A and B are shown apart, each in its own frame.
Chain A
Amino acid sequence: MREQQGIFKNIDWVLVALYLLLVIMGWLNIYASVYNDEHQSVTDFSQKYGKQLVWIVSSIGLAIICLILDGKFYATFSPVIYAISIVSLILVLFLGTEISGSKSWFRIGGFGIQPAEFAKFAANLMLAKYLSNISIKLTDLKTKLMSGIIIGLPILLILVENETGCALVFIAFVFTLYREGLSGNYLWVGFLAILIFILTLIFGKTILFEIIGGVFIFIFFVVKKNKQNVLIIVATTIVSLGGVYSVDYAFDHLESHQKKRINVFLGKEIDVKKAGYNVNQSLIAIGSGGLTGKGYLKGTQTKYDFVPEQSTDFIFCTVGEEWGFVGTSTVLLLLIFLLIRIIFISERQRSTFTRIYGYGVASIIFFHITVNVGMTIGLAPVIGIPLPFFSYGGSSLWSFTVLLFIFIKLDAYRLEILR
């Protein structure tokens, strides 16, 4: 490897290039989504693309700061960063500005900062710090509990702020935990829980009881009947039935608009005017793009505001409408390439801290992509979380930048660890 000097020494230029590419593509699409004939200057700071330019420039500043700081700093100060993050999550409950029902923003002039966004890398650092301790084993109950607390504390506070979408992101850490030795059953249980949740709502209690009963009998006769297997099967069945019952019960006690949202998502109800409006308009915008799109700045659905939140949560629609299938698949492939690159780099680390942190970065970004893109194409419920590096918004861009560049710094630092 060519010897590099200063802060750029040993950094992974592939990740940096991917980051810059995604951020620039994001900005181009933000410009397109709010583009109108009256405000064409790219530096018009009354417009979102002008503001985003400020966020991008400041993010690059933040990235450089991340690279300047010493490699040891992050591991050492993880608890402090985590503590600051938790305190700011609490403070915002008292000092924050309320925006559409959620109190999660500090307003400073025309710009807002959302502590919940920064809680992600703080929690990630803390988790990495805790799990990289040599005496820790994830098979221990104590470790599981402790990890649960590190992740659960910010979740709790963010839920209190009424930012459900943002809180859900922390579920992504299950991948990190899995990589570090958490039983694969947790993944299965999580998968099963989601499956049961959805199936119950689609088919109803009675039918699902019968299905589970049938599956139980089938498996019971097929597998070897040693004590452990029987125990697992019986336990899983009882938990599943309980799950079905409680989902059913909970759903019956939901508010009607919440029920409606869920039903629309599940395809049981069609309501293009209200709950399903966003998804329908989003699909129209993406679908009308066709194979190669309508051309840059030629999208009508996003430009004329048919798609709500088209510069933030629904930015993927602008990509879909103006760049077509070619554009959407390119963006998805770039993002997945980024994730795989992060995993690849994580695995080459000698430092456990860096590896765990890297998995956290990949998990968080993956969760965002899945929910955000899935929502725009009707495969996930509408949960307002941004598309990493693409969506308009300072807090999210800053937080993803810091999240990624800490990892780049840690990676660049890897050769010095054992020195």
Chain B
Amino acid sequence: MIYSERKYVIIGIFIVVALAFIARLFYVQVINDSYKLSANNNVLRYLIDYPARGLVYDRNGELLIYNEAAYDLMVTPKQVKVIDTNDLCKVLGITIAQFKKKMLAARIYSPYKESIFEKQIQAETYAKLQEKLYKFPGFFVQSRTLRKYPSSLAAHILGYVGEVTEKKTKANPYYKSGDYIGISGLESSYEIELRGKKGLKVMMVDVFNRPKGHFKDGEYDTLAVTGKNLISSISGRLQKYGEALLKNKTGSIVAIDPTTGEILACVTSPTYDPNLLVGRDRSKNYGALASDPGLPLFNRALRAYYPPGSTFKLINGLIGEQEGVTFRDTRYPCRGGYPVMGGKPKCHAHSSPMDLPGAVATSCNSYFCYVFRSIVDNRKKYRNIVSGFSTWREYVLSFGVGKRIYSDLPQELSGNVPTVEHYNKIFGKNGWKSSTIVSLSIGQGELDITPLQMANIMCIIANRGYYYTPHIIKGIYPSKQCRPEYKQKHFCKVASQHFDNIIDGMQGAVDHGTSTTAKMKDYIVCGKTGTAQNPHGKDHSVFVAFAPRNNPKIVVAVLVENGGWGATWAVPIGSLMIEKYLADSIKRIELETRMLEGIVLPPTQSDRIKANKK
């Protein structure tokens, strides 16, 4: 048979092709791994299950922060059919041009994967949309939660939540772009407790991105864990009252329970409604707040520096006692000023000479200049001014001044107590002595203290020598305990037996001295006024106090910018805060009305507010 050997050629070709294919298949299926990865990318979708953020209650169980459902309108461009665009735009309140832009953006992201078309649709819009959604194939709604602040209080303390920054997502792999994170206030400092834990669902999808069930029957799925609820130490009622009292004034009020360090109220004024920084209008509102000349975003209670004024005399008196240079009966002359320096700093009219409690009660400048001098110029103990001053400074720092006290509010600043180096730099080595820095004795000069620190000093005095770090969260669910570090006592360097002389003076100041407005029938209030010198305008009005004298339940520190004498604004406001907290009702209606309606603002701003009222 001719040509029959050609069968071998043909069979050979068959076999060569088969072997080539098998070799190729071996490469594609066994050697090369990249196709397996591509297959997973094709079919697996990692759906994040966002847990609800923890709720925050005040100390009386009232809700301060909760979650409200909001809705993101999602779109899968490939599934969008011809629709009545006009209708959809009307419901959403956007223009056709915006619609087209959003569609284009979604299509560029991916025609098959869903992306956010419209963020954070409010509940009522959602209700309207829900009815019509069947008409818009390709669109669906994904629920998210938005933070809500029902009482509109304490914006700075509670803080706000926003989308995580790119920097943060790189630093912490827990966060993915588009996640929400606490940005300020306790939303930020308790982020880990509040956020809970995200869950993950590994789903399979088909080529049109339609869900096809859980991958491996949910073997890789994890459940979301809801955020922990928190109990704030804030009293919503007191906070609200404080915010009302500071309305149309600039300044702050800090109230603390000295027996625990729990912050009862932390008011800064001007403030804003925390609900403004939620949802779709956030960036717009934020811009408006940021450019407001009153600086409503600025948390004065934690970040504003003031010279403490006369309230600082308390600390100097205590240091003098501890150093053994000042006693209850120590008396110094005052002839309308500090005689040693020719009547400077000046003093107001009062009887003289006075003992320590009397000097506190009348806030004698001269007296505390003597006390300060006797501490830093104590040559029996200290060789020179540097050594004496350094000792004094150590005492001051032990009162929680000039350093951060590490409360659980993230924005807290440290303040300033001048150093030896500082004076050396200004006056030269050996170029300064006690008289050079004598203004420190009455709380002026280079001292910078925040209102929170003022209140903390008051806690130390009320407790006779120690404080608990002030904190805003008194309980974390489920144990309802605060963070352990807030249960530790911090002692100042002055022994407890020295405090009663000063406290006697403070009681005297309220009973018959500089702050008599603060006197109350039912409680012994101990207080001290201050007038913080303000080089830019009218002095700031300061008042610190605690009550009742024995077994104190509340301390307050009040600062009203440009308020003048301590007694003018700060004393009545502080006293009303104490009354509100201890008695829950105000008997001094006339005083209350005057404080609530008072306007203490730079001239331009107060004119505007007065004009608006008319």
Q: Which residues of A contact B (CB under 8 A)?
A: 175, 178-181, 184, 281, 283-291, 300-301, 303-306, 320, 324-325, 328-329, 332-333, 335-336, 339-340, 343, 346-347, 359, 362, 366, 369-370, 373-374, 377-379
Contacts and interface: CB of A to CB of B under 8 A. Distances in A.
Nearest to B42: A306
B32 A343 contact: no
Contacts of B586: none
Contacts of B419: none
Contacts of A291: 29-30
Contacts of B524: none
Given A329-B25, A333-B22, A343-B14, 4 more contacts: A175-B13, A287-B38, A288-B38, A306-B206
Which of B2, B6, B9, B32 has the most chain A CB atoms inside 10 A of its CB? B6
B22 A332 contact: yes
A286 to B, nearest CB: 6
Given A304-B204, A306-B42, A377 B24 contact: yes
A179 B17 CA distance: 18
B10 A175 contact: yes
A303 B205 CA distance: 10
Contacts of B212: 304
B14 A366 contact: yes
Nearest to B8: A343
B15 to A, nearest CB: 7
A369 B20 CA distance: 13
Interface in B1-31: 2-4, 6-7, 9-11, 13-15, 17-18, 20-22, 24-26, 28-30
B593 interface: no
Contacts of A281: 42
Nearest to A178: B6
Contact of A180 (B3, B28, B34): B3
A319 B17 CA distance: 19
Given A301-B43, A304-B43, A340-B11, A286 B25 contact: yes
B211 to A, nearest CB: 10
A306 B207 contact: yes
Interface residues of B, number: 37
Contacts of A288: 35-36, 38-40
Contacts of B26: 325, 329
Nearest to A377: B24
B395 to A, nearest CB: 72
A379 to B, nearest CB: 6
A179 B204 contact: no
Contacts of A283: 28, 35
A366 B9 CA distance: 14
B4 A347 contact: yes
A285 B204 CA distance: 15
- Ranked nearest first, the 4 interchain pairs of A and B with the lowest CB-CB distance are A287-B35, A304-B206, A288-B39, A325-B29
A301 B11 CA distance: 35
B39 A285 contact: yes
B286 interface: no
Interface in B33-82: 34-36, 38-40, 42-43
B362 to A, nearest CB: 86
Contacts of A287: 28-29, 32, 34-36, 38-39
Which of B2, B11, B20, B34 has the most chain A CB atoms inside 10 A of its CB? B11
A373 B42 contact: no
Contact of B10 (A290, A303, A328, A343): A343
B204 to A, nearest CB: 6
A295 to B, nearest CB: 12
B21 A332 contact: yes
B216 to A, nearest CB: 10
Contacts of A378: 24
Interface in B169-209: 204-208
Which of B3, B36, B39, B43 has the most chain A CB atoms inside 10 A of its CB? B39
A184 B13 CA distance: 13
Nearest to A326: B29
A362 B15 CA distance: 13
B14 to A, nearest CB: 5
A206 to B, nearest CB: 30
Contacts of B17: 366, 369-370
16 contacts: A175-B13, A179-B3, A179-B10, A283-B28, A283-B35, A284-B39, A285-B39, A286-B28, A286-B35, A300-B204, A304-B206, A305-B208, A320-B29, A362-B14, A377-B25, A379-B20
